[in-house]
Structure 1
Amino acid sequence: MKDLTDIARRSYQAYVDKDRAAIEAVIAEDFHFTSPLDNRIDRRTYFERCWPGSETISDFRFVRLVEDGNKVFVTYEGTATTGRRFRNTEVLTMRDGKIVEAEVYFGWNVPHEAPAGGFIDQPRKGGDS
C-alpha cells in the first residue's frame, strides 16, 4: 500500500513545480473537489478552475499531515509568488493510491489580520460561529 501522506505531498509539490502531469498522476478520474467556493466539482472543472492557480504558488509548508484510514488531513501555510502567505486545511480521501475527494477549508491570512486575542468586526454568515 502506498503511503497516503506521500501522495498528498506530491499533489502539493506539483503546484509548486507547475507540473500538471504530476498532479494528474495522483488525482483519480472520478475526483471531486469542494471548498467554500466550489460544491463537489468534477476533475475536469477542477483543472479548468483551480489548476491555473498553480502559477501563483511558490511554496507549501506543512503544519499537520495526518493519515487516518483512507483520509489525509493537511494543514499548510502556503506562499504566493507575491509573498502573501495563507493557511488552509484540507481533507483528502484516497482510493487505490489516488485522491478521489478533496475538501478545502480556507480563509486565514498569515500573519492573522485580527490582533492576538481579538477579532475582525464584521457580520457573521449563517452557520459561522
Structure 2
Amino acid sequence: MPADRESLIKNLFAAYLANDRQQVSDALADDFRFTSPFDDDLDKATYFERCWRDTAWIARHDIERIFVAGDEAVVIYRCLATDGRSFRNTEFFTFADDKVRRIEVYFGAAWQDGRFLPQPR
C-alpha cells in the first residue's frame, strides 16, 4: 500500500496545481479534516470555502520527500511561486482506505533566489 499512498499524494499535488477541484474532492474522504497554522480542524466543505483558491500563482511544487507508514504519510515539499518567491512546507496525511482523511500543514521557511528570507516578528 505505501506505493499507492505515495501515488495518491503525488496525484493530489498535481490536481491542486492543475486547479482541478473535482479531482481533489474525489481524493478526500467524506469526513476529511484540514488543519494549518491558520485553520483548525476544518471539515471538507469549509476547507473548500476557506482554503481553495486559484493556483495560477504557483509555478510548481517540488516534492522533496514522502515517508509512508501504514495509514500515515509525511510530505516535505518546496513551492515555487510565479513571482520567484518560494517556501517549504511539511504536511502530515492520514488515510482511510483509498482516501485522504486528514491533512495537517506545518508552514516552513520562505526562500528567494536560493536564500532564506527572515519573517517579520
Q: TM-score range by the shorter chain?
A: 0.7 to 0.9
Q: Does 1:112 align with 2:112?
A: no
1:87-109 deviation digits (Å, cap 9, x = unpaired): 00000101111100000000311
How many residue pairs get aligned? The number is: 117
Matched, 1:102 2:103: yes
Unmatched 5+ residue regions in structure 2?
none
Code of the aligned partner of 1:37: F
- How do 1:10-89 and structure 2 match up within 5 A? 10-52=11-53, 54-89=55-90
Q: Work out the CA distance in 2 between the residues paired with 1:22 and 1:58.
A: 19
* Cα distance in 1 between the residues matched to 2:68 and 2:91: 12
Tell whether the 8 Å contact from 2:90 to 2:108 is kept in structure 1 after alignment. Answer: no
Name whichever structure is richer in strand by fraction. Answer: 2
Structure 1: unaligned runs, 5 residues or longer: 115-119, 123-129
Identity %: 38
- Kindly state the Cα deviation for residue 83 of structure 1 after the two structures are TM-superposed: 2.4
RMSD value over aligned CA atoms? 1.8
Partners of 2:55 and 2:30 in 1: how far apart? 20
SS in 2 for 1:18: coil
Supply the distance in 1 between the matched residues of 2:7 and 2:75 (Cα, whole angstroms): 12
Separation in 2, partners of 1:62, 1:70: 19
AA paired with 1:8?
Answer: I
